[in-house]
Structure 1
Amino acid sequence: MKIKADKEKLKLALCLALWAGLFSYFGQPYIHNNQDAVNIIVTVFSILAGFLIAVITLVGDPKSLPAGGWQVAQLGSVLTYNRLVRKKWLFKFYLITLFLIFCAILIKKPFPNLVIWLEYIYLFVGFIASILSFKLPAALMELQKERIQNEINERRKKEGIEDD
């Protein structure tokens, strides 16, 4: 089962990289010398980065660990850690995109040919980050659902009602 899941993730990553490559290849001419488009990308990724920090804070909250003994909390911490790692990489994609845009703006005059390559790269990374960002609302919903269920379970235990 683990190998199958890893193969699915690999397929997804390859497909995403292919689409990102196509997007960056065809999208670069629309970005080149288009400051309004660059400003939109910077604004969107800055907002997403701030939003993601809030998500990371919620995911990492110890209150989100399942109720029970330390062994239950330990098992829950593995899931929490894996979620945090995924969010960390998404945050890094946001920052890499913003950093590449910053570099492209700085070297625009002295190295105009290098700017073109940076545009391809930040469109590639930005596309991947954008697609992965669509999973954030579902991740938040899942996290909140787990927290609510943990709270319900705790209240049931306080009232002496056993879980089914």
Structure 2
Amino acid sequence: MNIDKEKIKLAACLLLWGALGSYFCQPLVHGNSEAINVIVTVFSILAGFLVAVITLVGDPKSLPSGGWQVARLGSDLTYNRLIRHKWLFKFYLITLFLIFSSILIKNKYPSIQVGLEYVYMFFASISCFLSFKLPRALIELQQERIEHEIEERRKKEGIND
């Protein structure tokens, strides 16, 4: 079994980041409807943006040119990207669902509401951190598409490296 130490480091850092964000931010959002509205708005927008990113990543035109074997190898990279984006999308939805649940029960179960605030700030902190990687992922995808298009045009003109 091959263990990717970088992924383990990233997971540990994300858990630490989420715990710190949860601990320090929960008191700031408790009873602060404006802060909660900002979080809901930002994560709703990010979720919509991520749907667009997933659509771009999953486009079959992004597969490398060549035979089916080349496309198969390229599809692994595409699937891995889609899986990462799927998890980020789920984190957005979990955050939004927990906020909704927290608002619903705040008057009837105030102690549970506080617990939910800690949990949704945990997910919000991790999601926020991971969202900063989205622009880079989009740029990489577009660079690959541009390189693919250049290669196709070179082939059409009979230019080989």
TM-score > 0.5, shorter chain as reference:
yes
The corresponding residue for 1:95 is 93
Residue 68 (structure 2) aligns with? 70
> Quick one: distance in 2 between partners of 1:10 and 1:52?
24
Match of 1:34 among 32, 35, 40: 32
- Matching residue of 2:41: 43
Identity of paired residues, percent?
71
CA distance in 1, matches of 2:147, 2:153: 10
**Cα deviation code 1:10-47 (max 9, x no counterpart):** 11111121121011111111110000000000000000
Distance 2:13 2:146 in 1: 35
Structure 1: which 4+ aligned runs deviate by more than 4 Å? none
Q: Secondary structure at the match of 2:64?
A: coil
Residue 106 of structure 1 corresponds to which residue in structure 2?
Answer: 104
Tell whether 2:155 aligns with 1:161. no
In structure 2, distance between residues paired with 1:27 and 1:156: 53
2:59 to 61, 66, 69: 61
- 1:161 is matched by which residue type in structure 2? I
Task: Quote the Cα distance in structure 2 between the aligned partners of 1:19 and 1:135.
Answer: 15
Unaligned runs of 5+ in 2: none
In the aligned structure 2, how far is the partner of 1:79 from the partner of 1:55? 15
Structure 1 portions without partners, runs of 5+ = none
Counterpart AA for 1:153? E
Amino acid of the structure 1 residue aligned with 2:90: K
Q: Structure 2-normalised TM-score?
A: 0.97
State the distance in 1 between where 2:61 and 2:109 align. 51
Question: Distance in 1 between the 2:79 and 2:6 partners?
Answer: 21
Instruction: Report the 3-state secondary structure (helix = DSSP H, G, I; strand = E; otherwise coil) of the residue aligned with 1:122.
Output: helix
Q: Aligned-residue CA RMSD in angstroms?
A: 0.8
> Residues of 1 paired with 2:114 and 2:79: CA distance?
38
- State the one-letter code of the partner of 2:120: Y
